[in-house]
Amino acid sequence: MTQRHEIRLGADIGGTFTDIALEVRGKLFSTKVLTNYSAPEQAILDGIEIVCRDASIAPKDIDIVIHGTTLATNALIERRGAKTALVTTEGFRDVIEMRTENRFEQYDLSLVLPSPLIPREDRFPVKGRIDAQGRELQPLDERTLEALAEVIGERGFGAVAIGFIHSYMNPAHEERAREILSEKLSIPISISAEVSPQMREFERFNTVCANAYVRPQMADYLSRLQVRLKEMGANCPVFMIHSGGGLISVETASEFPVRLVESGPAGGAIFAADIARRFSLDRVVSYDMGGTTAKICLIEDYQPHSARTFEVARTYRFCKGSGMPISIPVIEMIEIGAGGGSIAWVDAMGRIQAGPESAASEPGPACYQRGGERPAITDADLVLGKLDPDNFAGGKIKLSVDSAMAAITRDVGDRLRLTPQAAAFGIVEVVDENMANAARVHAVENGKNISENIMIAFGGAAPLHAARLCEKLGVDQCLIPQGAGVGSAIGFLKAPFGYEALASKIMGLSKFDAGIINAMLDDLKTTAEGFVRAGTDGEIVREITAFMRYAGQGWEIPVALPDRAFADGDRTMMENAFKERYAQFFGRAVEGPEIEFVTWSVKAQDVRPEGERLALKTEGARVSVPSIRAVFDPASGRTLETAIVPRHALSSGDRVTGPAVIVERETSTIVTSPFDAVIQADGTILLVRKGF
Amino acid sequence: MSDINEIRMQVMWNRLISVVEEQALTLLRTAFSTSVREAGDLSAGVYNAKGEMLAQAVTGTPGHVNTMAEAVLHFIAEIPREDMYPGDTYVTNDPWKGTGHLHDITMVSPSFKGEELIGFFACTAHVVDVGGRGFGADGKSVYEEGIQIPIMKFAERGVVNKDLLKILRLNVREPNQVIGDFFSLAACNDVGHKRLIEMLDEVGYDNLDTLGNFILSRTHVATMERIAGLPKGAWSNEMLTDGYDEPIKLAAEVSITNSGVNVDFAGSGAMSRWGINVPLIYTKAYACYALKCVVAPDIPNNAASLAVFNVSSPTNILNAERPAPVSVRHVIGHMVPDLVLGALAKALPGKILAEGAAALWNIHISVRPVAGGTGRRAEVLMFNSGGMGARPGLDGLSSTAFPSGVHTMPIEATEHTGPIVVWRKELRPNSGGAGKYRGGLGQVIEIAPAEGHEFDFSAMFDRIATPPRGRDGGEDGAPGSARLDDGTKLRPKGWQHVPAGRRLVLELPGGGGFGSPAERSSEAKAEDLSKGYVTEKK
């Protein structure tokens, strides 16, 4: 089926811009339009008109639209969802309010915890209990549920979430409760066993609440989008990209909109994975830096790492634990409040801090001269000479060096008695170090050494900071692809039709029962392939992963297992596979404890056509430079005469010696003094450490 | 360019904090006990060659962090420099030289760069069992509370001490888990060391001296600025706690001078016959924590920020001497911040929160099949929290650990560890002390043995006879209670029985209120009612 999709369109709605990428038989057209908050679909339609005109095609010629959006994420962050009722197990009304009973910041006695998504008066307990083994301890109180349906109907709720204890082991009570409620209610009902069938009640209940909360709004939006696309003549199928990086149908997305959270960043990771495949790079760290946040993701063998839980809407300086946990399959990345708009300030210790507060697009950094008075990262980049004030965003926005300097001097330089340039260097160093720390911690969580990776950088601000980040991380090579500014939307075009189905089942390795596991895996395969079949009739590949640990541990590690029916005799193979992975993560296997399985996952996706493969060129012919500007060089701590080269003037095989700045419409690539840049056959810039 | 140098030092300071964060993370990922892996009862830190703490992980709890800061000095005193080699790891669970009870294992590893000893990494975690009577207050001396491991080598030049493992294996109830945790503690120090060496290589430093001096001198200056801003004088406070079988008085005098803050605990009750005594090292940890929250919450915790606080006490329950029983030292120890904050409230009127539940309500459950039945035996540990006191300007946090920094365990995870059923774990209405700002709510927990089982449990509860007091006209929080569902009253401390078919019902204390209830806004009152935090028929 994929062969038929010769004209593909990707649409990524972000906080500031809606990015459109159109691929017509291998040729790429892209545009950015401002996101329209009251009618998000309008920006997509406007963007489609522009790229269709550029490509001389009509909307009806488009074979497939692939869409990702931050709308669900924003609804959660801004608390703009439906009035939602939570029906839960009696005795557990406050699970989403009591959280982990922990203060995420030890010393702040005025700490405020994020309020629960669904307030206490809208949480309704019902008798009925399943135990840890999935057996019924107490029957479901159906009478109370019938009465509850009336209450929910009368009180004007727009959605219902159902979350019962141990429903991931046995969903019968949740399913029956949905059945009873739906007889009297016409609003959408989400159950936790379907949305997030994983152990740990706080995470699972919160996930089903989040799903119910954004569901009416997302369903409305998606149906409006489909109607409007048809009206403009685009009759093609529309698919959504989900947080795990695969595609799902609009119908599935309308039912499980929580799966769309983080779909934009997931597109970025796929974009990087595609570049990694193109250059045959098996260990890659992707680095995506926009206006508000930076995202860092590990990509191994052209596959982004995945995780089963993450946190959205962090309320306290991006502090871990201050947001909402969402347990769904997700491309694992670390996101920190470090973007071009991040505000710099000085703390009580006289230390420079950067972010997470952002100047965003309004009022913007001081240098935009649109009312922003506090210094942002972009201001510091400008003062250091990394940006050309007359040629920012293709000359659309004129940047004021004086305003940037004034803001930096007032908020940072005067307080620390630093020159504006030293203060700007401090700001940029701090944000670069924050990103480097985040990258290191992320790597260690995955049992990896960051410096063994090649970086792929994209997003408006990343090329300005990538080289310095590489210096800090000990990374020797970094790629800056073409189209980096709309990387996520391009990534959508490369996304496979994929789905990951999960089920928890705790079982000791010594008691491994192949019959039970095979039956469970068959169910998971059916579920996963069912989703994939909605989008493709081509070949499907599957990956089987067991999440395993030593009995007594709480953190499972993913162990890849062969895709075949298991026999009881496979124990030794599984034990060896686990111990090998464990040693990779933590140094040495532990002697003594029993090994156990906790969760099984089946990932199914269609087989993508092999793209063009290129060899990475690290050598090239030195080019002469047309102009010179003074730019601060962090490695030497001095301002250096720096070559300025337009990207379009460079061609394959050219080598530019650092320090240099390669300028283009949306951004500039900084080549610091320890690096050179070599242009690849597809126009990608390779930053390579001198002498590497 | 000294400007640039300054910035480089700042950046390395951040990096050092991220090094210890990685260290803590490794421990969380690999630990076996639920107390560590689900509840975060651990800490990790890096020290210079003199044993001064330079940075601690944000992950962790004050009872460990601040005790460990001192514990490292004991290791240096016991193990001569010429006996230290690269690849070594040292261990102890000595309550007086570690973190106050035998269940906490502290490991210290020297960090060598080439031949030079440049510093130490240390970490602590609470393991599930150390033998003896088990986690509880019933021991008459520390000898009954489990195996004592003196400061010694867990590993020399990377080779693990097999004799120690053999002795451990025979002395604890869950040898696989406990030994597994020993390995994860050692592994986490190794990760810290590797990252530190990478960092020093990258910046071209031979040791931690320059960076360490920068960190400590900066911190000292900033902390002294805060001390200068405090009123000078001496203020005292007293408090009653439940004790084991009779109430125990705690007393503190806080004096603030130009050079720092001193806290003395003279006047506190005598040592108890039961395992609720507190070694001074643990008392100090929580006293310093309380002071730091008020004086310098945003200054990173290290040897210099701790040095301005001096803590002393004659021998008493807050400075118990060997061989006093100390297994549940945390119950009285967790009261120390409220005690110290009460004295500070007199120095800084209107600025200090009310008393709260303070002590965690930990339950250790030993569950087994009823006589003649079949089923599972298991040891289950739960951490639960009551309400925090109301703050000036803010209601208290409900069911939130304070002063401890741990988490609770998910019920679904707890029920997998043993045959028990938790029938209720939710907020306890009407438990927050009334006030302009309401105290945080406690919680209600109901636990039953699974069918065909019975259990014994170790109670480690407080604020049942002596509820948290309100401040500045705020009312007291509700006292806690422990009983069976048939009404049988249970004791706040000690091992007790729950027969098959019965439920253990725990009502955790709420926090005290702040300011007069008459001044509470009508919106806040309406919200209390609509959310059911307060019910009409109270």
Residue B38 pLDDT exceeds 80? no
Greater model confidence, A618 or B40: A618
Name the least confident of A211-220, A521-530, B140-149, B479-488. Answer: A521-530
Q: Is B15 on the interface with A (CB under 8 A)?
A: yes
C-alpha A99, offset from chain centre: 24
B22: chain A residues, CB-CB within 8 Å: 440-441, 444
d(CA A575, CA A592): 13
The residue of B292, B305, B411 whose CB has the most chain A CBs within 10 angstroms, and thus the best one to mutate to test that interface, is B411
Residues 440-499 of A with CB under 8 A from B: 440-441, 444-445, 472, 474
Q: What is the pLDDT of residues A477-512, one digit of tens each?
A: 999 998 887 888 888 888 878 788 888 788 999 999
| pLDDT at res. A4 | 54
Token pair of A318, please?
């991006």
| pLDDT at res. B537 | 59
Percent of all residues in chain B with a pLDDT value above 70, rounded to a whole number: 99
Contact status, residue B12 vs residue B54, Cβ threshold 8 Å: no
Report CB contact under 8 Å: A419, B3. yes
Distance from CA of A258 to the nearest CA of B (A): 22
Residues 394-433 of B with CB under 8 A from A: 394, 397-402, 405-408, 410-413, 415-416, 421-427
Q: Which residue of B has its CA nearest to A439?
A: B18
Q: How many CA atoms lie within 13 A of A303 on its CB side?
A: 13
Q: What is the pLDDT of residues A218-250, one digit of tens each?
A: 999 999 999 999 999 999 989 999 998 888 889
For A265, B338, B451, the CA distances from B252, given in Å and listed in that order, are 54, 10, 48
What is the ipTM, given to two decimal places?
A: 0.92
Q: Which class in CATH covers the domain with range A498-606? A: alpha beta
Residue with tokens 């290191």: A440
Residues 625-684 of A with CB under 8 A from B: 637-638
Residue B483 lies in a domain: yes
Domain stops at, among B189, B219, B249:
B219
Q: What is the pLDDT of residues A403-414, one digit of tens each?
A: 999 999 999 999
B10: chain A residues, CB-CB within 8 Å: 351-352, 426, 430
User: Which of B176, B198, B400 faces A101 most closely, judged by CB atoms?
Assistant: B400
Q: Is A120 on the interface with B (CB under 8 A)?
A: yes
Token pair of A622, please?
């030195």
Cβ pairs A/B, distance under 8 A: 214
d(CA A593, CA A604): 33
Residue B75 lies in a domain: yes
Residue A35 pLDDT exceeds 90? no
Residue A393 pLDDT exceeds 70? no
Token pair of A378, please?
């972009």
Q: Is B202 on the interface with A (CB under 8 A)?
A: yes
Three-state SS at A590: coil
Burial of B207 (0-12, 13-18, 19+ CB in 10 A): middle
Q: Where do the domains of chain A lie?
A: 77-218, 263-338+430-494, 342-427, 498-606, 621-689
Residue A259 pLDDT exceeds 80? yes
d(CA A426, CA B74): 39
| pLDDT at res. A628 | 85
Token pair of B459, please?
């109670």
CATH code of the domain made up of A77-218: 3.40.50
Q: Which domain does B176 fall in, by range?
A: 2-219
Distance from CA of A126 to the nearest CA of B (A): 12
Name the least confident of A360-364, A458-462, A469-473, B287-291. Answer: A360-364
Residue A363 pLDDT exceeds 70? yes
Contact status, residue A221 vs residue A209, Cβ threshold 8 Å: no
Are residue B357 and residue B215 in the same domain, yes or no?
no
Distance from CA of A503 to the nearest CA of B (A): 15
Average pLDDT, chain B: 93
Q: Is residue A459 within a helix (H) or strand (E), and if so which, with residue range?
A: none
Q: How many CA atoms lie within 13 A of A295 on its CB side?
A: 25
Residue A561 pLDDT exceeds 80? yes
Report CB contact under 8 Å: B38, A554. yes
Q: Is B173 on the interface with A (CB under 8 A)?
A: no
d(CA A400, CA B31): 53
Buried/exposed code over A305-314 (b: 16+ C-beta within 10 A; e: otherwise): bbbbbbbbbb
B33: chain A residues, CB-CB within 8 Å: 552
B514: region left, alpha or beta (phi > 0 left; psi from -120 to 50 alpha): beta
Q: What is the pLDDT of residues A620-642, one digit of tens each?
A: 899 887 788 888 888 888 888 89
Distance from CA of A597 to the nearest CA of B (A): 13
Q: Is residue A394 within a helix (H) or strand (E), and if so which, with residue range?
A: none
Residues 60-99 of A with CB under 8 A from B: 90-95, 97-98
User: Which of A425, A550, A555 faces B7 most closely, judged by CB atoms?
Assistant: A425
Domain stops at, among B197, B219, B241:
B219
Residues 176-195 of B with CB under 8 A from A: 176-177, 179-180, 183-184, 187, 190-191, 195
Q: What is the pLDDT of residues A284-311, one digit of tens each?
A: 999 999 877 889 999 999 988 878 788 8
Total of domains in chain B? 2
Residues 208-227 of B with CB under 8 A from A: 218-219, 222
Across the range A23-33, mean pLDDT stands at: 86
Percent of all residues in chain A with a pLDDT value above 70, rounded to a whole number: 96
d(CA A46, CA A494): 23
Contact status, residue B36 vs residue B104, Cβ threshold 8 Å: no
Q: What is the pLDDT of residues B236-267, one digit of tens each?
A: 999 999 999 899 999 999 999 999 999 999 99
Residue B174 lies in a domain: yes
d(CA B382, CA B441): 19
CATH code of the domain made up of A263-338+430-494: 3.30.420.40
- Residue A263 main-chain phi, psi, to 5 deg: -75, -30
The residue of A110, A553, A588 whose CB has the most chain B CBs within 10 angstroms, and thus the best one to mutate to test that interface, is A553
Q: Is B367 on the interface with A (CB under 8 A)?
A: no
Q: What is the pLDDT of residues A40-51, one digit of tens each?
A: 999 999 999 999
User: Which of A131, A552, A593 faces B415 most closely, judged by CB atoms?
Assistant: A131
Residue B157 DSSP one-character state: T
Domain stops at, among B198, B219, B240:
B219
Residue A395 pLDDT exceeds 80? no
Residues 6+ apart with CB under 8 A from B191: A444, A587, B22, B23, B26
| pLDDT at res. A3 | 45
Cross-strand partners of B453 = B369
Name the least confident of A361-375, A421-435, B488-502. Answer: A361-375
Report CB contact under 8 Å: B31, A553. yes
Residue B54 lies in a domain: yes
Across the range B201-214, mean pLDDT stands at: 90
Residue A445 pLDDT exceeds 80? no
Distance from CA of B459 to the nearest CA of A (A): 20
Token pair of A367, please?
């240098």
Contact status, residue B265 vs residue B487, Cβ threshold 8 Å: no
Q: Is B270 on the interface with A (CB under 8 A)?
A: no
Greater model confidence, A338 or B263: B263
Residue B255 lies in a domain: no
Across the range B320-330, mean pLDDT stands at: 96
Q: Is the pTM of this model over 0.90?
A: no
Across the range A200-217, mean pLDDT stands at: 96
Percent of all residues in chain B with a pLDDT value above 90, rounded to a whole number: 80
- Residue A430 main-chain phi, psi, to 5 deg: -65, -45
Report CB contact under 8 Å: B32, A594. no
Distance from CA of B377 to the nearest CA of A (A): 15
How many residues are listed for chain A in this entry?
Answer: 692
Across the range A386-409, mean pLDDT stands at: 84
Contact status, residue B384 vs residue B360, Cβ threshold 8 Å: yes
Q: What is the pLDDT of residues A586-611, one digit of tens each?
A: 666 776 788 999 889 998 988 877 77
The residue of B28, B64, B412 whose CB has the most chain A CBs within 10 angstroms, and thus the best one to mutate to test that interface, is B412
What amino acid is encoded at A467 in this protein?
A
Token pair of A669, please?
């690539």
Confidence of residue A2 (pLDDT cuts 50, 70, 90): very low
Residue with tokens 């001496």: B234
- From A304, A320, A312, select the one nearest A244 (Cα to Cα): A304
Q: What is the pLDDT of residues A643-666, one digit of tens each?
A: 999 998 999 999 999 899 998 876
| pLDDT at res. A161 | 98
For A462, A669, B537, the CA distances from A456, given in Å and listed in that order, are 9, 13, 63
| pLDDT at res. A375 | 96
Confidence of residue A675 (pLDDT cuts 50, 70, 90): very high
Q: Is A136 on the interface with B (CB under 8 A)?
A: no
| pLDDT at res. A318 | 63
d(CA A423, CA A418): 6
User: Which of B6, B18, B400 faces A437 most closely, judged by CB atoms?
Assistant: B18
Distance from CA of B77 to the nearest CA of A (A): 30
